[in-house]
Chain A
Amino acid sequence: MTRTNEELISQAKGQEAPLLPLLHQFHERDGYLSEEALRAISAGLRIPLADLFGTVTFYHHFAREPGGQAAARVCTGPVCKMHGADALLTSMPGATGMPCSGRCDEPIPVLRGNQTWVGLAADALERRDTPVPPAAPAGTTECVFAHIRDENRKSLSGYRRSGGYAALEKAVTSMTADELIAVVDASGLAGRGGAGFPTGRKLRAVQEAGGGPKTVVCNADEGEPGCFKDRALMDHDPHAVLEGMALACVATGAPRAFLYLRYEYPETDTLLARAISQAEEAGILGDDVFGSGRTIRIHLRRGAGAYICGEETSLLNSLEGKHPFPRNRPPYPVTHGYEDTPTAVNNVETLASLPPIVLHGADWYRSLGMGEHAGTKVISLSGDIARPGNYEVPLGLPLATLIDDWAGGPRNGNKIQAVTMAGLSGGFLAGDDMDVTLDEPSIRAKGSFLGAGGIMVFDETRDMVAVAHQAMEFFAHESCGKCFPCRIGTQRLTERLAGDAGPGELSSWLDEMADLNATMKATSACGLGMAAPLITESLVRYFPEEVRAHVSGS
């Protein structure tokens, strides 16, 4: 039965972080966000109408025309473009493009309402389960992927049969928060969402911060092009993510947690909602976790299309229903996060690593890495590669080993020209610089970073200026507009890579490029604007001939 505005609003009012869920309910009920809906929400949640309107326009998936919610969106990310996304988009009347939607290991994804379809042609689209990560070479010990290929892990009973929630039970019944944090600290686990901040230190900072209630946020926005690991974890091992969140709650003393999921993962949304309610029914989550009297409530919140909402402070503003610009730091979320309470924001993979670390110990986790590197990292590998997919590698593994031995080498036996790092945010590595090991020190030494672990492979047939242009178009599309260097800089870089504007003479072209890169890196207000110029910097460094040809041709 369709619910009235009043019913929806009065239900939302009693909730934490009510704006996004309420907008989604109207969006789905009416098929778009009408003026009338926004007026009702503005009055109901007491948000000024102009502010609400502006904020809604920030998210590219909120439709404001009838029928817009159900209209098809075709992924036009860099890897999907290699698969012919532009042609698919043109062949589908009424469809619009969307930035990389986190399925680069599958044929082109098409989102219709709350269903994901994949395929290479409009009449051959099908619904498919998220691919299971390819098997790791014999002798590899995995952490977060250890049980992911076990079909039973998705259900609560299957999860528990394979040791699931034992870590949480242990933590709430026989460990202090300090002990828990000490294990995480000693494991050497660092953030897997991009910035690589030591997880134990973050949890301790929240635990020690004054004020409350404290909050844990699982960052499942996974907006970085070329990254699709968090969805694999959530789809095939959802309880591991929830257990990791609960452990972070125990460590910090937080009674509440949010899982902020990107819009493009509707099936994951359904699956997680079910997993949360099953865990609550079983007394594992909720008001009496394992009979300990402790409350841990996990709230699932769905984004609406904005890469910047993966940036933790933008995410917090989004949760709070504010305009999702990143916040100025300091203060950091560990002291002033969700509604100004001490908040631990952690990536899905980071949190999913906690249960095995608590069960098997810090030394076990450290030993999974190679040499002095602690632990593992999931790499999303895509593009011109024989076996694209998610690989959990020991940190320190040579990139060449991953590409050639684990993933079957380049597709069609072509030569690899370049790879991206950190999805797109680390720019390109090419030539001898591809001779790195998969760990931050090695990759940072080349002026890039491993980040969230997305690696796109481009073989010798690809036009790297065109790839750089697509990358910059993405950053320009996703720039929030708060700060000058990124808002204008990403636009100017895009125009120059498209050949639409800019000096026709190489030295002035390079001169403008160098100034833009330097000023964006040094003065942007958040990681997006600082990372975007790594694309142009590395393009100019590795492909000077291609750049010369591009400039003289434009």
Chain B
Amino acid sequence: MSDKSGLTLFLDGEEVPFTRGESIFQVSERHEKEIPTLCYDDRLDAFGGCRLCVVELEGARNPVASCTTKAEAGMRVTTRSGKLEMHRRVLLELVVSENREVDVDELSGYASQEMATLVDRYEARTGRFEGRQSGASRPDDPNPFILRDYDNCISCYRCVRVCAEQEGDYAISIMGRGFDTQITTEFGGILKESACTFCGQCIQTCPTGALGDIKALRHKEIELPIEKTRSICIYCGVGCSVDIMTKGDKIVGILPAMDGPANEGALCVKGQFAFDFVHHPDRLKTPFVRDDQGELVPATWDDALDKAAAGLMAAVNEHGRHSLYAIASGRAPNEAGFMMQKLVRAGLGTSYIDNCSRA
């Protein structure tokens, strides 16, 4: 069995094809080997920190990290053995021992259940290796978006790497060494004073919920299941795919869609966090018109439309059709946007129409 290139290796005894440049982990994933990982995010360069992905390689003295080891023809790889599973369990018991808690709310972020899931799979809540905990949370950071709960940090550095490799923002880095490493901004400050753009990418890659989505977590008390609806971010022309999280009929948060063709899991601060307007108490639910005193008062749609039409036509009659310019809101649905340009072009006779999303 081989593909065009003819390269094969032996994966748990079975000869399988691979393409040059693939890591052992990538080949194993294709064959559903379910190798555990914690420092891995397939959008990032493999890092080799968690060591959960170690596999046995014939001829190598020690197990090798499958994420950082490139597949080579003829390799004989074992992805599961008594020894490997023992090492993986010890590694998980170790990370459990350095954190305040294992279980965090799913609203924390896209990858937030990764650690808890593996801990359960390996039955690693054993209380072994107890000792000092690592990481100091930053309750002093007043930003409204990103929870910095480093008591639950396992130093996988996915946040630092996603910020550098995906966002190119380099807002956060690693302070200190060893057990005392700590995720930090320059000079240990708060995010607002750093290069952070609040894109939320670090939250979504964090495997423990140490970084959490503060806006979504506001809704953790609502005892309803989370439903996810695929949609497109409304804010600009890039068209990032999102999964809108709802509980009942309330939008509780936004997840970037890792398979979104335009964004591949990336979002910006607007797409990630700016969804409050949907349920905002200030949101208009009925039209208003000004009365004789100039005060805004609720009106019927007919009244309001008549008034608007009269005002617009008066302006056109007095100053010409190009005296008007319309901007459609990105927060309105596509159909409304279409109607708007129809009204402006056909009704008012001008092509001065734009959309705030035209980034």
Which of A's residues lie within 8 Å of B, judged by CB? 35, 38, 48-55, 57-58, 60, 306, 308, 323, 328, 330, 476-492, 495-496, 500-502, 512, 515-516, 518-519, 521-525, 530
Does the CB pair B178–A478 fall under 8 Å? yes
Q: Does B128 contact A (CB under 8 A)?
A: yes
- The 16 listed contacts between A and B (C-beta, < 8 Å) are A49-B186, A53-B186, A54-B184, A328-B47, A481-B176, A484-B49, A485-B90, A488-B98, A491-B134, A500-B131, A515-B90, A516-B90, A518-B90, A519-B91, A522-B83, A524-B51
- Chain A residues with Cβ under 8 A from B129's Cβ? 488, 492, 512, 516
Does the CB pair B62–A48 fall under 8 Å? no
Does the CB pair B97–A54 fall under 8 Å? no
- Chain B residues with Cβ under 8 A from A330's Cβ? 69-70
Does the CB pair B177–A306 fall under 8 Å? yes
Closest residue of chain A to B185 (Cβ to Cβ) is: A50
Per the bound structure, the CA–CA distance linking A110 and B137 in Å amounts to 36
Per the bound structure, the CA–CA distance linking A479 and B65 in Å amounts to 19
B49 to chain A, nearest CB (A): 5
Does the CB pair B95–A488 fall under 8 Å? yes
Q: Does B116 contact A (CB under 8 A)?
A: no
A485 to chain B, nearest CB (A): 6
- Chain A residues with Cβ under 8 A from B47's Cβ? 328, 482
Per the bound structure, the CA–CA distance linking A407 and B174 in Å amounts to 45
Does the CB pair A485–B94 fall under 8 Å? yes
Q: Which of B70, B132, B164, B178 contacts A479 (CB 8 A)?
A: B178
Does the CB pair B173–A488 fall under 8 Å? no
Per the bound structure, the CA–CA distance linking A312 and B63 in Å amounts to 21
Q: Does B216 contact A (CB under 8 A)?
A: no
Contact with A along B219-247 (1 / 0, CB 8 A): 00000000000000000000000000000
Q: Does B68 contact A (CB under 8 A)?
A: yes
B88 to chain A, nearest CB (A): 9
Q: Which of A57, A485, A490 contacts B176 (CB 8 A)?
A: A57
B270 to chain A, nearest CB (A): 23
B94 to chain A, nearest CB (A): 4
Within 8 A of A (CB), among B80-107: 83, 86-87, 90-91, 94-95, 97-98
Chain B interface mostly helix, strand, loop or mixed? Answer: loop
A548 to chain B, nearest CB (A): 20
Does the CB pair A476–B179 fall under 8 Å? yes
Closest residue of chain B to A477 (Cβ to Cβ) is: B178
Most buried by B among A35, A38, A52, A482: A482
Q: Does B171 contact A (CB under 8 A)?
A: yes
Per the bound structure, the CA–CA distance linking A490 and B170 in Å amounts to 29
| Given the contacts A487-B179, A491-B179, A512-B128, A523 and B62 also touching, CB distance less than 8 Å | yes
Q: Assuming A55-B173, A488-B134, what are 9 further A-B pairs, CB within 8 angstroms?
A: A54-B184, A58-B174, A481-B177, A483-B51, A485-B90, A491-B131, A501-B131, A523-B91, A525-B65
Q: Which of B70, B86, B155, B170 contacts A48 (CB 8 A)?
A: B170
Closest residue of chain A to B51 (Cβ to Cβ) is: A523
Per the bound structure, the CA–CA distance linking A484 and B54 in Å amounts to 12
Does the CB pair B128–A489 fall under 8 Å? no
- Chain B residues with Cβ under 8 A from A38's Cβ? 186-187
| Given the contacts A50-B184, A53-B173, A53-B186, A522 and B155 also touching, CB distance less than 8 Å | no
Q: Does B355 contact A (CB under 8 A)?
A: no
Does the CB pair B87–A522 fall under 8 Å? yes
Q: Which of B69, B179, B187 contacts A35 (CB 8 A)?
A: B187
Does the CB pair B49–A482 fall under 8 Å? yes
Q: Which of A50, A323, A480, A492 contacts B94 (CB 8 A)?
A: A492
Per the bound structure, the CA–CA distance linking A482 and B181 in Å amounts to 9
- Chain A residues with Cβ under 8 A from B52's Cβ? 484
- Chain A residues with Cβ under 8 A from B27's Cβ? none
Closest residue of chain A to B83 (Cβ to Cβ) is: A522
Does the CB pair B154–A484 fall under 8 Å? yes
- Chain A residues with Cβ under 8 A from B98's Cβ? 488
Does the CB pair A51–B179 fall under 8 Å? no
Q: Does B324 contact A (CB under 8 A)?
A: no
Per the bound structure, the CA–CA distance linking A525 and B53 in Å amounts to 12
- Chain B residues with Cβ under 8 A from A478's Cβ? 177-178
Does the CB pair A328–B68 fall under 8 Å? yes
- Chain B residues with Cβ under 8 A from A495's Cβ? 131-132
Which 5 residue pairs spanning A and B have beta carbons closest together? Answer: A54-B173, A48-B170, A479-B178, A481-B181, A328-B68
Per the bound structure, the CA–CA distance linking A60 and B180 in Å amounts to 12
Q: Does B172 contact A (CB under 8 A)?
A: yes
Does the CB pair B172–A50 fall under 8 Å? yes
A498 to chain B, nearest CB (A): 10
- Chain A residues with Cβ under 8 A from B171's Cβ? 50
Most buried by A among B52, B54, B83, B91: B91
Does the CB pair B175–A57 fall under 8 Å? yes
Closest residue of chain A to B39 (Cβ to Cβ) is: A484
B161 to chain A, nearest CB (A): 11
Q: Which of B48, B90, B130 contacts A501 (CB 8 A)?
A: B130
Q: Does B328 contact A (CB under 8 A)?
A: no
Does the CB pair A51–B170 fall under 8 Å? yes
Per the bound structure, the CA–CA distance linking A523 and B90 in Å amounts to 11
Closest residue of chain A to B169 (Cβ to Cβ) is: A48
Per the bound structure, the CA–CA distance linking A58 and B50 in Å amounts to 20
B246 to chain A, nearest CB (A): 35
Does the CB pair B177–A58 fall under 8 Å? yes
Within 8 A of A (CB), among B299-350: none
Does the CB pair A48–B87 fall under 8 Å? no
Q: Does B46 contact A (CB under 8 A)?
A: yes
- Chain A residues with Cβ under 8 A from B176's Cβ? 57-58, 481
| Given the contacts A49-B195, A481-B177, A492-B94, A523 and B130 also touching, CB distance less than 8 Å | no
- Chain A residues with Cβ under 8 A from B65's Cβ? 328, 525
Per the bound structure, the CA–CA distance linking A270 and B232 in Å amounts to 63
- Chain B residues with Cβ under 8 A from A308's Cβ? 177
Does the CB pair A48–B95 fall under 8 Å? no
- Chain A residues with Cβ under 8 A from B86's Cβ? 515, 518-519
Does the CB pair A481–B170 fall under 8 Å? no
- Chain B residues with Cβ under 8 A from A483's Cβ? 48-51
